[in-house]
Amino acid sequence: MDTSTGTPLPTREPLPTATEPSSPEAPEPATPPASPAESASPAEPAESAEPAAPLEEPAGAPVVWPGRPAPLGATFDGSGTNFALFSSVASGVDLCLFDDAGTETRVPLTEVDAGVWHGYLPSVYPGQVYGYRVHGPYDPGSGHRCDPSKLLLDPYAKAISGQVSPSPSLYSYNFDAPDTRNESDSAPVTMRSIVISPFFDWGHDRPPAHPYHETIIYEAHVKGMTKLHPEIPAELRGTYAGLAQRPVIDHLKALGITAIELMPVHQFVNDTHLQEKGLSNYWGYNTIGFFAPHNAYAAYGEAGQQVQEFKSMVKAFHEADIEVILDVVYNHTAEGNHMGPTLSFKGIDNAAYYRLVDGSQEHYFDTTGTGNSLLMRSPAVLQMIMDSLRYWVTEMHVDGFRFDLASTLARQFHEVDKLSAFFDIIHQDPVLSQVKLIAEPWDVGDGGYNVGGFPALWSEWNGRYRDTVRDFWRGEPSTLGNFASRITGSSDLYQNSGRTPVASVNFVTAHDGFTLRDLVSYNDKHNEANGEGGADGDNANRSWNCGAEGPSDDPAVLELRSRQARNFLATILFSQGVPMICHGDEMGRTQNGNNNAYCQDNELAWVHWDLDGEARDLLRFTSDMIRLRQEHPVLRRRRFFSGAAGHGGESDMGEIEWLGPSGARMTDEDWATWYARAMAVFLNGEAIAEPDERGQRIVDNSILILINAAGEDITFTIPDADHAPAWRIALDTAPATDEVHPESLLAGQQVLVQAHSILCLISDEQADQGPEHQERAGLSHTGLRRS
């Protein structure tokens, strides 16, 4: 068959048009198996279901013109809508249109070009509900799973309505006899695609385009951020519109945040096995629509209004000079493994979209732990991912992406390949190569841990930074060299590939794992609420409860926990690289020891805004620390220090020095001492090698950071006047303070740094250094004890 000129296919008998409503509110009662990455054992066998009886096609069927094979998806042009769907294995495709009563009209698409089925309907406008039924081979052993009894989502749908309800009709097999077909209609219990209007008044919207080295990232959940916020109107809480309200934006601006990184907002599926347990997929790493904003986060409707609402949210953040980064999940879909439901890709062209097991193509090759992995060497998959990314940048105006389990995206074959086609097409793309690209550099497959292994243009969640900093502050031995490398930008991981410190996204906590408060309050996970008997979640938390597990009324324990939380925040913000804070950590958010709250769409995981005095102190501390970073370029260099990473970048250029408590430079013996828990870091504000954005030399104050991770107080000697004649105290983690200390410290002066604390000093060339000043400040050569 010649398809190069759009020749119509031979006629065939179309599926009849249904005349009975297919109501999403009428799910079948039987229970499907746990999905998507789940076992094949169903909870109950399905009742046998007969296919719907053929009915006569009604008069006045929609007018269909040939249309165009590009772009894919449903495209409204002001006069009508073009529909285009890729399937290289289909023998026929029905476009299914639904009216307000749920009545389905099936329109055969008879034009096909290069595997793209298409047609133009001049009578279809924004708001039209639609789906597809694909005819073709059902032969799982050969990798094919076409099933016209299943209503399928358009992979390119820009908006999606409804949710998936538990029902056996979602599956192409019978639970009690998996080798037999289940041809019951899935339309009443599945999601549906929506035609949208592409038009939106962006006004003078411009991307903030903050340089990476000036970026502060705030990871947040759309619903969790505002669901409990008392200043957000009740009807907007938990929505895109709620997130764009002034109280939220003012909070982020007061903190100093420059970019909000949103957990998944692509349309995702609420797993049926969680629904049956009274839980739900809260995090959203279960995507089914890569072009559609998740409809449950929309305040004003899901018939396309979610697109307008999302755009309005982005516009509001841009007006506040805050970038929007999306956490995206292009490594797998919500259709699970061979026992999962048929929702979209599986029924359209299974072998073109999914990586199947060689020699056993009824099974899926899974490097994500979810049941399937997308086939990254497939042109259809690569095109879909690129089209999706471009759409979110050009049409939705987002500023960057964080790629979940990004190692899977680099698996063209078995191994992770940083020269894979995925990276090639990203790097040559004139749009995507200019936005922020952040990798979660691991997956669950062999060789999947690739921190430091991604190519130029990419930044990475630095998992080694997280682990090293946690170990250092909880007192693990032999971490001093690693600690020095991590806080100076991890040049050992990134420099050899031509990358800079901003390749390292520095974090201690994220959505996955303990919150910051729980990191200092629990040694062990407490995931009982998840209903998995404690089997879920990581057991290696690298946490320390400071002397008591969980809630405590011991003042010493509580004070130490607060101090440790401030230590972690201060460490993130004086490290070279890109700092990231998890939502609520600046206010002491707790999940009561749950380190895997993926299914807790409730107050356990939502951000609480009723702050006590301790929470307000931590919020002020975090804001002060971010402001300190923003005011001092010596804390956010664009280039690596010239020395070796294992010695913290020290070299003859004098950019940085590592000193012992005595004020003398650390020796090789000091670096090798496994029990060393105290040191001072001198950052030379007069030795910043790179110029500013106008080519001018950067000159800053010098900064001296006194670090004591030991369990006892340690006296530090301020280094000699060659470093600076005097210093003022800028920030202290023990205890928290509401304002900058006015005292100055002189070269050679001694200061007592309390156990488990950081004291940050800034060079003060104008300080009064005479005896009268010393007496007024309470300083002496025997030391300064700070209250």
pLDDT value for 444: 75
Can you state the angle between helices 421-428 and 379-394, rounded to 10 degrees?
30
pLDDT higher than 60, residue 231: yes
Alpha helices in 367-479 (DSSP H): 379-394, 421-428, 463-474
Query: Is 561's pLDDT higher than 80?
Result: yes
Are residues 427 and 350 in contact, defined by beta-carbon separation less than 8 angstroms?
A: no
**Cβ atoms of residues 473 and 516 within 8 Å:** no
Other residues' Cβ atoms within 10 Å of the Cβ of residue 115: 17
How high is the pLDDT of residue 642? 93
Angle at CA of residue 200, ends 195 and 202, nearest 5°: 150
Mean pLDDT value across residues 161-189: 96
| 648 has pLDDT over 50 | yes
d(CA 636, CA 629): 7
What span, in angstroms and rounded, lies between the C-alpha atoms of 186 and 172?
Answer: 10
CB burial of residue 689 (10 Å; 0-12, 13-18, 19+): middle
For 393-440, what is each residue's pLDDT tens digit? 999 999 999 999 888 887 755 555 555 788 889 999 999 999 999 999
pLDDT band of 233, cuts 50, 70, 90: very high
pTM across the whole model: 0.90
pLDDT at 445 over 80: no
pLDDT at 785 over 80: no
* CA–CA distance, 330 with 426 (Å, rounded to integer): 14
pLDDT, one tens digit per residue, over 695-740 is 999 999 999 999 999 999 999 999 999 999 999 999 999 874 444 4
pLDDT (mean) for 101-107: 97
Find tokens 């399905």 and name the residue.
Answer: 46
Percent of the chain whose predicted confidence (pLDDT) is above 70: 87
CA distance 364 to 357: 6
User: What pLDDT, on a 0 to 100 scale, did the predictor assign at position 446?
Assistant: 77
Residue 481's pLDDT is: 84
How crowded is residue 496: how many other Cβ atoms within 10 Å of its Cβ?
9
Nearest to 339 by CA among 34, 548, 76, 61: 34
Q: What percent of the chain has pLDDT over 90?
A: 78
Residue ranges of E strands in 282-435: 287-293, 323-328, 356-357, 360-364, 400-403
Average pLDDT over residues 475-490: 88
pLDDT in tens, 176-210: 999 999 999 999 999 999 999 999 999 999 999 99
Residue 102 in this model has a pLDDT that exceeds 50: yes
Nearest residue to 199 via CA among 85, 90, 72, 77: 77
Is 707 strand, coil or helix? strand
What pLDDT does residue 480 have? 79
pLDDT of residue 417: 56
Best CA proximity match to 420, nearest among 340, 338, 314, 330: 330
Query: What pLDDT score does 30 carry?
Result: 39
pLDDT digits (tens, 9 = 90+) for 344-376: 999 999 999 999 999 999 999 998 889 999 998
Dihedral sign for Cα atoms in the order 284, 287, 288, 291: positive
Q: Tell me the C-alpha distance between 196 and 391, whole Å.
A: 14
Span between the terminal Cα atoms of the chain, in Å: 85
Looking at residue 766, its pLDDT comes to 64
Counting runs of H as helices and runs of E as strands, what totals does the chain give?
16, 33
How sure is the predictor about 743, in pLDDT bands with cuts at 50, 70 and 90? low
Examine the pLDDT at 89 and tell me if it is beyond 50. Answer: yes
For all residues of the chain together, what is the average pLDDT?
89
Q: Is the pLDDT of residue 783 over 80?
A: no
- The CB density around residue 23, as the number of other CB atoms within 10 Å, is 12
Domains of the chain: 73-195 (2.60.40.10), 649-771 (2.60.40.1180)
Non-local CB neighbours of 647 within 8 Å, separated by 6+ positions: 481, 484, 658, 671
Query: What's the CA gap between 780 and 703, in Å, rounded?
Result: 22
Q: Which of 261-265, 416-420, 623-627 has the lowest mean pLDDT?
A: 416-420
What are residue 745's DSSP bridge partners?
Answer: 727
Tell me the average pLDDT across 557-570: 98
Which residues are known to be catalytic? 404, 440
What is the pLDDT at residue 416?
Answer: 54
Rg (the chain; Cα; Å) = 29
